[in-house]
Amino acid sequence: MSDISAVKALVFDVFGTVVDWRSSLIADFTKWGDQRGIKADWTALVDGWRAVYAASMDEVRKHPERGYMILDKLHRQSLEKLVAQLSITGLTDADLRHLTMGWHRLHAWPDSVAGLTRLKKKFIISPLSNGNVALLTNMAKFAGLPWDLVMSAELFEHYKPDPETYLGAARLLCLPPEQVMMVAAHNHDLKAAQKLGLKTAFVARPTEYGPLQKYDFEAKGDWDIVAKDFGGVADRLGC
Amino acid sequence: MSDISAVKALVFDVFGTVVDWRSSLIADFTKWGDQRGIKADWTALVDGWRAVYAASMDEVRKHPERGYMILDKLHRQSLEKLVAQLSITGLTDADLRHLTMGWHRLHAWPDSVAGLTRLKKKFIISPLSNGNVALLTNMAKFAGLPWDLVMSAELFEHYKPDPETYLGAARLLCLPPEQVMMVAAHNHDLKAAQKLGLKTAFVARPTEYGPLQKYDFEAKGDWDIVAKDFGGVADRLGC
């Protein structure tokens, strides 16, 4: 723990921390599949999709010569493989696009919008997410997230937890790292941010992965704030 | 004029188009100078400052080997020269910083916030300004500008009217240029945007430069929308 009185901006992990990607996608795809008459194990698709997320970003990291690739494109590539693996048939190119854009249509956790609205009165609030700018912008409009600005890994052409993302956010805000607080439901994200001098807030989201959740049930680090939800973060910051 | 029914996002010039930089700065500095007991012709400073704006960005354009420099830094460099030229004495480093940060404390034109609020319901709205990200973010909080995201020349390391800015904005939004509309009070900005395929809206701000205004009293091009204020743009776009 350290002095957090100088914090001016809060940057948020988004998938899992601000929005409930798993329940949102399963509900969205199930409804859509029923309407389109496409049978599939949508839960398996969603869980499988997220399971290859880290590996898909590792490919970008390992091959800088190929250039940066935004998350929409990684999502689409992973989806095409998964659809084949899960033997989901009858999907057109427009269908694959619709599913990929599902990541733009995620619902916030019940406390997110109210908490962000309180925090926005006193702090600059922004996502700092591996989602691309358009994804985060569309999601904000869909879910009513009141960001002041939208910061994405895309702006730095590096995915979290690469240092360029956390330091890039501080640079764009013209703030030293210690005046920026990273808010996340993932201990590894906070660990990377803290190492670079950012302040940290942990909010547990124990149902993020549904029955598959294996870690991040609780804080596993010396974070500046540990709260049960965004309202708790606002309480701690005097908002 | 062309078909504007496919437009999904509006990007706005900011200085002069959304905010009244001249009146804001003169009032801010006059009040501050009185409080600090510093005598100066603040109007001359503000007008002189803006007069060297284009040349300061040209320096960045001409010397890519020096690296991109954000507008806050250009403002500070120009200010130091002007203070000497105008024989304003007694300014500390903190004073120079306070004046430079005046560009973060600009008031909106009377119709801006209401117009943006209407437009935001149907479109993605963002600045596309030569101001740096922190400047635009701080200004939005100060003036209550309800942006969905903040796009700045800084993100593209090119100042408008370089093509990289307009095309960069479309790329970040994952939209083709013809689905993005540039809104500006400056004909040259719209000309550059239109050439690259963006749609265009002109809003006259005939008092932007006070008695020094020489052009941009009216539309000088085949813009898709010409309106007297942001409410007029919203009317035309069915918001």
Instruction: Reply yes or no on domain B9-20+106-236 having CATH 3.40.50.1000.
Output: yes
Cβ separation of A150 and B148 shorter than 8 Å? yes
**At A175, is the pLDDT very low, low, confident or very high (cuts 50, 70, 90)?**
very high
The amino acid that residue A11 corresponds to is V
A140 in B contact zone (CB under 8 Å): yes
- pLDDT per residue over B1-49, tens digit each? 578 999 999 999 999 999 999 999 999 999 999 999 999 999 999 999 9
CATH 3.40.50.1000, domain A9-20+107-236, yes or no: yes
Are the Cβ atoms of B148 and A148 closer than 8 angstroms?
Answer: no
Inter-chain CB proximity A172 and B148 less than 8 Å? no
Distance CA A197, CA A176 (A): 8
What are the domain boundaries of chain A? 9-20+107-236, 21-104
Residue of chain A nearest B122, judged by CA positions: A141
Decide if A178 contacts A161 (C-beta within 8 A). Answer: no
* C-alpha span between A142 and A137 (Å, rounded): 9
Confidence category of residue A1, pLDDT binned at 50, 70, 90: low
The answer to whether B174 contacts chain A (CB < 8 Å) is yes
Please say if the pLDDT value at position B168 is more than 60. Answer: yes
pLDDT value at position B2?
75
Contacts of B150 in chain A (CB under 8 A): 148-150
- Angle (CA) A17-B148-B76 rounded to 5° is 105
Q: Minimum mean pLDDT among A123-127, A184-188, B87-91: which range?
A: B87-91
Chain B contact probe: residue of A97, A133, A135, A156 with most B CBs at under 10 A: A133
Give the pLDDT mean for A39-53.
96
Q: Is A6 on the interface with B (CB under 8 A)?
A: no
Among the partner-chain residues A124, A134, A148, the one whose CB lies closest to the CB of B173 is A134
B194-211 pLDDT, tens digit per residue, is 999 999 999 999 999 999
Q: Which of B137, B138, B149 sits opposite A137 (nearest CB)?
A: B149
CA distance A211 to A206: 10
Neighbour tally for B160: CB within 10 Å: 23
Is domain B21-104 given the CATH code 1.10.150.240 in the classification?
yes
End-to-end CA distance of chain A: 19
Instruction: State mean pLDDT over A91-103.
Output: 97
Cα separation, B23 vs B107, whole angstroms: 8
Inter-chain contact A134–B172, Cβ cutoff 8 Å? Answer: yes
Q: Does B10 touch chain A (CB under 8 A)?
A: no
**CA angle at residue B235 from B233 to B239, to 5 degrees?**
100
pLDDT at residue B1 in the model: 54
- Locate the chain B residue with the closest alpha carbon to A157: B155
Task: Check if A9-20+107-236 and A21-104 are the same fold.
Answer: no
Judging contacts by C-beta atoms under 8 Å, the chain B residues touching residue A149 are 133, 136-137, 140, 147, 149-150
Strand partners, A182: A11, A200
A2 pLDDT band (50/70/90 cuts)?
A: confident
- B149 interface with A at CB cutoff 8 Å: yes
Measured between CB atoms, does A176 come within 8 Å of chain B?
no
Give the tens place of pLDDT for each residue, B64-111.
999 999 999 999 999 999 999 999 999 999 999 999 999 999 999 999
Mean pLDDT, range A144-153, rounded to an integer: 98
Average pLDDT over residues A205-230: 96
DSSP run (H or E) holding B201: strand B199-203
Residue B4 touches partner A, C-beta closer than 8 Å: no
What is the number of other CB atoms lying within 10 angstroms of the CB of residue B47? Answer: 18
A7-26 average pLDDT score: 98
Q: Is residue B131 predicted with pLDDT exceeding 70? A: yes
Average pLDDT over residues B212-231: 97
- Quote the minimal CA–CA distance from A133 to chain B in Å: 6
The number of beta carbons lying within 10 Å of the beta carbon of residue B163 is 14
Whether the per-residue pLDDT at A104 is higher than 90: the answer is yes
**Residue B187 has what pLDDT?**
98
Nearest alpha-carbon partner for B119 in B41, B25, B231, B24? B231
Partner-chain contact A149 B147, CB within 8 Å: yes
% of chain B exceeding 70 in pLDDT: 100
**Shortest Cα–Cα distance, A226 to chain B (Å):** 27
Instruction: State the average pLDDT over residues A210-232.
Output: 96
Please list, in sequence order, all residues whose beta carbon lies within 8 angstroms of the beta carbon of residue B28, skipping any fewer than 6 positions away.
B102, B105
Residue B232 above 90 pLDDT? yes
Answer yes or no: do B173 and A124 touch at CB < 8 A.
Answer: no
CB contact under 8 A, B172 and A133: yes
Amino acid B198: pLDDT: 98
